Structures are given as structure tokens and as C-alpha cells.
Structure 1
Amino acid sequence: MAARARCRLVVLISGRGSNLQAIIDAVRAGQVPAEIAAVVSNRPDAAGLSRAREAGLPVEAVDHRAYASREEFDRALQERIDRHRPDLVVLAGFLRILGTRFIEHYEGRLVNIHPSLLPAFPGLDTHARALAAGVRRHGASVHFVTNEVDCGPLIVQASVPVLPGDTPASLAERVLSEEHRIYPLAIRWFAEGRLSIKDGRVLLDGARRPEQGLDIPPPEE
């Protein structure tokens, strides 16, 4: 993949947009060689749209409730996204299951962040499930999107310890801090043309990375 001078991003959200804000901040700080071409939500009242407007970004709303089927919604969403000619489509708390045709249309340029150390705990309620399972570490994963939910090739992960007395809320707060750190990093790698996929695994700079290499420790205080 050739390096891009400025990678065009379209960010999809459904809620408050905290990962969107982390991406906005990283782009503004020059840490990610990209521009956010648009922010699109399936909820016209999503709080994240206000963040986007405050940052001076184009915003779009494609209300899923206005469509009779997932397929109709997907087509409308795809049409709206493609107006902005994205190099990468970023799911940042986008709470809709996307259909096969949509995913195939953006194959290799559609990424998501999930609040667990995949393949553990795909789906919802990950923090409560992690606590119930008694795991010692939990975390977040950035991955390319495929037709299997939360099963696409991993780009980067970061983990946090599960502490005595943790609740789903306290664990979620620590994981979210890691999400804000690794999502801009993954987007930067894509924007720099450093990511590729071979045999279902992500390569960074052409090198196949061991699974433990996906875990990026936080910077030292």
C-alpha cells in the first residue's frame, strides 16, 4: 500500500463520540497524517455530532429508523459516506450491525475498536463478562472489519489489569483510556501506508507480528 500524504477519514458514531474526540485531537496535533472528511451518525441526536460541529467538521445523519430494512439503511449510509471519498472508514462507537455488501464495499479500509482483548468477549457487555470470567487482564482491540462480528484481523491491542473491587464501570473507564491511545495509532499506521493483510493476519511494515506484539504498553510516566 503506497503511503498517503493525507488520508481521508469518515468516522461513524452512534453516541457521545469519545473515540472521535481522541482522533480529532490526534489529527490536530499532527500525530496522524489524515483529515476527517466527515462524521456520520445513525442517530441525529448523537452527542458526538456536537463534538464534530465544534471542531468544524462536516456532519451527516442517516437515521436507521427511517429505513424498512438493514439493506436499505446500508445503501443509504454507503451513498452518504462515498460522497466524501474516504480512504478509511472508522467505526468509533457505531452501534449497528453492517451487512455483507457494505463490508465488502469497504474491504481493507473499514476498521473498528472493540472493548476486549479479542478473540475474548466479542459482542456486548464485555466488561461485565470479563469480570464474571475472572480474567486478570482486559483491554481493547482495533481490527479490520469482516463479515464475522468482532473477528476481523487484529491491528493493535492494549491491556489493563483487572483490579480487586473492579466494577464494569471502573474497568470500562480504564479500558476507554487505552482505546483513546491505540485507535489514533492504528489510524496513523494505515494513513502512513504501513499496514497490509496476508493470510488473514495484519502485517506492519511488511512484517508478520507475533500475537504478543499486538499489545502496546502505555508510555512511561
Structure 2
Amino acid sequence: MTQVKAAVFASGTGSNFQAIMEAGDLGCEIVLLVCDNPDATVIDKAKYHDIPVFVFQPTNYESKEAYEQVIIKYLIEANVSWIFLAGYMRIVGSTLLKAYKGKVINIHPSLLPQFPGKDGIEQALEAGVTKTGVTVHYIDAGIDTGPIIAQETVEVLPQDSITTLKKRIQKAEHELYPSVIKQLLKK
């Protein structure tokens, strides 16, 4: 039986990418990193793990559809059937969503539907909530509005700063995301 192949999309440091790579048998093989930031440190992490990287700059394309068509070519060449967003700071467009319907998942640093979009951790602190967390969800046409797969709660402590809360959120992400991927691919 051939193993399921997956791509990770990321834009930054790649801490969730690293957690996925170190998780052991996920039921899939990560065969491609797609990155929209040529300066992202996740690129070095992918190279360390011998994962091919497709780096692009959206401004070099006339439209989202244009660069998503190029991404799809890379995904097809790599035989990718699942996409895991891990700190990918772009809204996935309809071109990619149609090509990978029901096969694109994301991890978000809040208990959705609370605090969608950018800066979920900062939003939680500013709102003064006593708990927040992480959500793994399917991607749809909205921003963090797709069906929720799993969530894990993280307590917000009175002395928390963005840095301290972010560390605990990332710890929860690094445990939850690989676990959810394993469960999804067993189906």
C-alpha cells in the first residue's frame, strides 16, 4: 500500500512543521513545504529534514489564482493528497480549495469561533478571557470558519504576557496537530 503524501504550508518559524516532522508515524509522508516567505526559518527546517521546498512571493503573480495554479502543479507532481497549514499567513483561495476539497486543515491559536484571523493570542489577552486554546479545523472560503475537528483549552493566567501565553499555546498545538493528523488519516 502506498503511503498518503501531504504538504505543509507555512510562512514563519515552522514550530508546527517541526512538531509534525518529529511526531513519528502520522500515516502520511510529508513530501513538500510550500512557503510564501523567502526569509522564513521553516525553509531551513524543511531542508534539514530533506523535504523539497516551493517558495514563492505572491507579489510576483498577477493574482491569487495565478500563484495557486502554480502551487497545484507542485502538489500534483509530488502526489500530494492532503495539505496541512502550519502558520501559513495567506487566505487559501477557491482555486486551491476546489482542487483539495475537504483535504486542507489548519491549526489556529484560539478556541474558534472566538478570535479568528490574525493575532488570536493577542485578541484573547485583550479580551480578558480566562481560557483560550487551539483549534484544528478544515479550511473553507471564510477566515477560520471551517468545520472544527478538535480543540484543546489553554488557561490564561493573570500574569500572562503574549510571550508566556504563546509558549503554552504552541505546546498545545505541537501535541494536538500531529495527533489529529494521525486520526484523520486512519479514516
* Counterpart-to-counterpart distance in 1, 2:75 and 2:81: 11
1:76 to 60, 70, 74: 70
Question: Aligned-pair distance for 1:130?
Answer: 0.8
- Please list, as runs of the form range in 1=range in 2, the aligned pairs for 1:158-173 lying within 5 A after superposition: 158-173=152-167
2:117–2:143 contact (8 Å) kept in structure 1: yes
Report what 2:21 is aligned to: 24
Q: Deviations for 1:81-101, whole angstroms, at most 9, x for unmatched residues?
A: 221111211111111112122
Report what 1:210 is aligned to: none
2:89 to 81, 95, 100: 95
1:43–1:64 contact (8 Å) kept in structure 2: no
Q: Helix, strand or coil for the counterpart of 1:165?
A: coil
Question: Aligned-pair distance for 1:80?
Answer: 1.8
Question: Aligned-pair distance for 1:117?
Answer: 0.2
2:127 to 122, 133, 158: 133
1:120 aligns with 2:114: yes
Q: Helix, strand or coil for the counterpart of 1:142?
A: strand
* Counterpart-to-counterpart distance in 2, 1:132 and 1:34: 38
Equivalent AA in structure 2 for residue 58 of structure 1: P
Identity among equivalent pairs (%): 36
Change (3 A) 1:62 1:80: farther
1:57 aligns with 2:51: yes
Equivalent AA in structure 1 for residue 21 of structure 2: I
Equivalent AA in structure 2 for residue 60 of structure 1: F
Equivalent AA in structure 1 for residue 95 of structure 2: R
* Counterpart-to-counterpart distance in 2, 1:41 and 1:15: 8
Report what 1:36 is aligned to: 30
1:5–1:33 contact (8 Å) kept in structure 2: no
Question: Aligned-pair distance for 1:5?
Answer: 5.9
- Indicate the RMSD between aligned Cα atoms, in angstroms: 1.4
Q: Helix, strand or coil for the counterpart of 1:140?
A: strand
2:136–2:150 contact (8 Å) kept in structure 1: yes
Consecutive unaligned residues in structure 1, runs of 5 or more: 194-221
Equivalent AA in structure 1 for residue 165 of structure 2: L
* Counterpart-to-counterpart distance in 2, 1:58 and 1:111: 20
* Counterpart-to-counterpart distance in 2, 1:85 and 1:173: 34
* Counterpart-to-counterpart distance in 2, 1:22 and 1:56: 15
* Counterpart-to-counterpart distance in 1, 2:20 and 2:96: 23
TM-score with structure 1 length normalisation? 0.81
Name whichever of 154-163 and 66-75 sits farther off: 66-75
Equivalent AA in structure 1 for residue 12 of structure 2: G
Q: Deviations for 1:98-148, whole angstroms, at most 9, x for unmatched residues?
A: 212221221110001111000000011211211121211111100010011
How many residues align structurally? Answer: 187
Mark the structure with the bigger radius of gyration.
Answer: 1
Consecutive unaligned residues in structure 2, runs of 5 or more: none
